[in-house]
Structure 1
């Protein structure tokens, strides 16, 4: 007698349910995907007690005929694929044929469905995966699935469900995700008889993003061969303590993916403020089905891209474009007895195209400095000549505080500017432009320097030698983890050549330097950081005015290349609140 046996279908379904059905959120996800695959234009989700008591999903899709309704609860029964070849380019949201039998095996389920064009539909009831009743009768086209007593026969799983509020919140986020991924479909969520979310088909993607994020987001779109990216995000001052408002969407489905999140975080680190937390962001990707594998896990939340680096760079670039499109300075404002960093849209006309408009020549301060549009930009060296002409208006340099911060008045608003990161931003943009036009100049070392990269980094030195050359270094491999540096970029001080080289190789090994574009940007950032004036450095009024004039002409004057804020803004109203005048 054999000891190995084939499990009954009901047991196999219960095992599969452990991966597919984790909580009410999982049930709603699978049923929404089925509704979308059925061509629904309206999907309603009704919950009782966060879905722990009852889940109902109603759609107006194509519905099912009687025979299909009976087959739908068989394991691996699906209308989505027919052959192994179909798995190489899955274009539907569902395809495994596991969801319905898995859900039915751990709940009391009722299906009501009617195929479009038919006069009557099918109503069937199941309990714990066992068919209890089937009737036929007149029904509206579409499908309604009611799930009651989830995990009634799996008490251990039921015990691990969270509170009603937590389970409801998870379902709400899932419904929101699919509403964002499919902006031409209506979605409605009702909890305990009260409608809590409504996404009408009249709301486009931007309006839905604004509804979800709570305010107008910065946005950008990017189209490259085989991939389209749309990004909606809030600046980092709005970061949350959890990633609840991060939505990664791929071909109409909600996913969790390190490639997408990595590209997004790299963009924030590169251009956003140095503030902790999780960005609020919506990233919607469309790629060719053949370029992504969605058959990684039964839950279909994990995917694998065929060309991960291309997806990473596209997401990063699109997020950067959205962040750079935001022309606002961080503002300190008073709220409920405490100060915090925030971002407000300017209340008055701001800078456009590097120029200031709405100039105000009347200042209450006794000394107003004006800088001409022809004023020479700051160079890598410190300020040399205070005798250059100074002619511009629309801002007034008030003072230098602690030889580190410059106080500026403009149209009744007070700007506090960090002189080091301001100069760093200016030099970064100048250096990046110069590098793209002329490349990185290098110094030939009379006496080569030796750097110990070790065996781990040596592979990167040998494999990415061309990228290292473009960074301005020439090296020869000595052996035993040692390299001889024979040339270095002109901006690297003599005593820091080896250390800067090791820092560059480490970034390459970590995958941060994937192409020439990212390499040049980091080199330019390094130039700005090394050459910028430092904190605790006294400046004269002319020097400060030149610095501020050049800063306001920068592409992004609000953040340094490493993400630290350059400017903090205080309006008169906010100052009066701080002093309890209002």
Structure 2
């Protein structure tokens, strides 16, 4: 029997490795921009065409490469970042594996033009499917220009499963933001289909955050700064009132490297405990500086996962830092967090014994009332019920109606069913009660039904908006004064993607340059009086729903609109409004669950009530 184990060719091995490193065009942007940063560039330009399918080009003014280095850079595990195994424990550069360029050229047509400052001529190299097709001297500026064309042209299955252009470009923006946030001292430019998306000058971290996410962010940030022997924490945390439902504005950086760290994320959320609205996440931009020997970044090919030598201490420092920052800026009640009274945060390392408990001395036999002439005052209650009878006591037990519950005749003592409010003739009529302006209660044959008013309205609007997308445009309520808002490029991509569907549902919006969106009309059936708040909620809900791949495009639009337009908790409803919502809910195809799958109603049976009173 012949041998069956074979050594794969380099081209096949590179394509296998590319599946881990290069997952979409955004991965190419990440790897090439990080290489440009490692090359010492002070200006990096990223040019994109067709969301990276046609072209991803990264231009930098870094150190450049010689002819030999340029050719060797595309080999697997060829790198200038490390030279021995010991270097893995003191990594200070973005890359070190030597896999990125080999993975890119395995699934694309790549061209490199590079020149060092001291050389007169540069080097041009073209590689298709890991094979060098051209290498010659060329004229080019100092630095490097990587042009990656036709990504996944030789892997049709991978190219087929790429998402829409708007989705892929949104991922590119995310990777661009991560690198740009880590290095505010570098000028960054991003262009998509000949339109400038970002032009970021060199500056500090706060200026870079405002340049990426909008000028309004500048006033919504509080400074975080703590220096310990284990790690240095700097950055900014968002104010609780500006928290959003969608993730995407939460950034951790360790030694200027973006990381994902759920453990530290929980520490930040714990610092915000009791301050955030339900189901929202705060924005934060946290920069950690630690000794490279105390962290391990060689865990995942994307290098976004790290391990700390003492994660528990880092968690304590993170929690205390964010909590102190929120207190110092009066986001939470505090006594004194001024810098003049700041104390160093203690950290317990290893088996260090805890500090001694402070001892308080006091006199056990002291009695503050001993030897005083204190006497309890005499209180006399005198009330003659026959002489001074209470007036209008019957009004405490009289059923009254609000102005919204009056019938068309204007009579204030009639309920919607036409019965007298104080006659007690409500037998056979449906009666609704609102609890805490959140739940609607009514009696049913089996007991008491409780309905969540917000989820119920979301279900009604969700099915209504789904039908509207098929039936045609709905009427819009034109605003007397149009509202303008400046959106960051990532949100602008979402608006451009769903603009057609929003118009079908009654929104009238126009987009301009520099991220300006003008709202001239909004759906007439919406309960949200602020078109701007509606649009911001739609964007947040749309990004939040994108995390669920089971939700289709139409359902995502309808769900976002329903959440933005639904009755909010705390809104009082009249009897008529509660009855209409009740009828519309049970006219839906799935009245028991909200569009996101949460329970809308619950029935407390008579048996349960009997058990409570037994």
Which TM-score tier does this pair reach, normalised by the shorter chain? 0.5 to 0.7
Say if 1:236 and 1:275, in contact at 8 Å, map to a contact too.
no
In the alignment, what sits opposite 1:26? 27
In the alignment, what sits opposite 1:89? 90
The reply on whether 1:323 has 2:326 as its aligned counterpart is yes
Deviations for 1:139-196, whole angstroms, at most 9, x for unmatched residues?
Answer: 2110010111111111111122111111111111211111111121111111111111
- Aligned pairs for 1:121-132 (under 5 A) are 121-132=122-133
2:23 and 2:60 map into 1 onto residues whose CA distance is 23
SS at match of 1:143: strand
1:156 and 1:240 map into 2 onto residues whose CA distance is 36
Q: How many Å apart are 1:286 and its aligned residue?
A: 1.2
Q: How many Å apart are 1:275 and its aligned residue?
A: 3.0
SS at match of 2:41: coil
Higher RCO structure (Cα 8 Å, ≥6 apart): 1
| Cα pair distance change 1:6/1:235, threshold 3 Å | same
In the alignment, what sits opposite 2:287? 284
1:174 and 1:142 map into 2 onto residues whose CA distance is 22
Larger strand fraction of residues: 1
Deviations for 1:206-256, whole angstroms, at most 9, x for unmatched residues?
Answer: 112233443221111111113111131222222222211111112122111
2:317 and 2:41 map into 1 onto residues whose CA distance is 31
In the alignment, what sits opposite 1:151? 152
Say if 2:226 and 2:233, in contact at 8 Å, map to a contact too.
yes
The reply on whether 1:257 has 2:255 as its aligned counterpart is no
Which residue of 239, 242, 254 maps to 1:238?
Answer: 242
* Alpha-carbon RMSD: 2.3
In the alignment, what sits opposite 1:555? none
In the alignment, what sits opposite 1:161? 162
| Cα pair distance change 1:323/1:353, threshold 3 Å | closer
Which residue of 293, 296, 299 maps to 2:299?
Answer: 296
In the alignment, what sits opposite 2:182? 181
Q: How many Å apart are 1:278 and its aligned residue?
A: 2.1
The reply on whether 1:310 has 2:303 as its aligned counterpart is no
Q: How many Å apart are 1:329 and its aligned residue?
A: 8.9
Say if 1:257 and 1:302, in contact at 8 Å, map to a contact too.
yes
Uncovered stretches (5+) of structure 1, i.e. residues with no partner: 331-350, 355-384, 386-582
Give the length in aligned residue pairs.
Answer: 335
In the alignment, what sits opposite 1:566? none
Q: How many Å apart are 1:353 and its aligned residue?
A: 6.8
Deviations for 1:260-285, whole angstroms, at most 9, x for unmatched residues?
Answer: 2122122122x523432222111111
Deviations for 1:289-310, whole angstroms, at most 9, x for unmatched residues?
Answer: 1111111011111111111112
| Cα pair distance change 1:300/1:353, threshold 3 Å | closer
SS at match of 2:136: strand
| Cα pair distance change 1:226/1:328, threshold 3 Å | closer
Deviations for 1:543-569, whole angstroms, at most 9, x for unmatched residues?
Answer: xxxxxxxxxxxxxxxxxxxxxxxxxxx
SS at match of 1:5: coil
In the alignment, what sits opposite 1:205? 205
Uncovered stretches (5+) of structure 2, i.e. residues with no partner: 338-375, 377-614
Say if 1:181 and 1:250, in contact at 8 Å, map to a contact too.
no
Deviations for 1:119-143, whole angstroms, at most 9, x for unmatched residues?
Answer: 0111111111111111102221100
SS at match of 1:195: strand
Deviations for 1:84-118, whole angstroms, at most 9, x for unmatched residues?
Answer: 11111111110000000100100111111101211
In the alignment, what sits opposite 1:227? 231
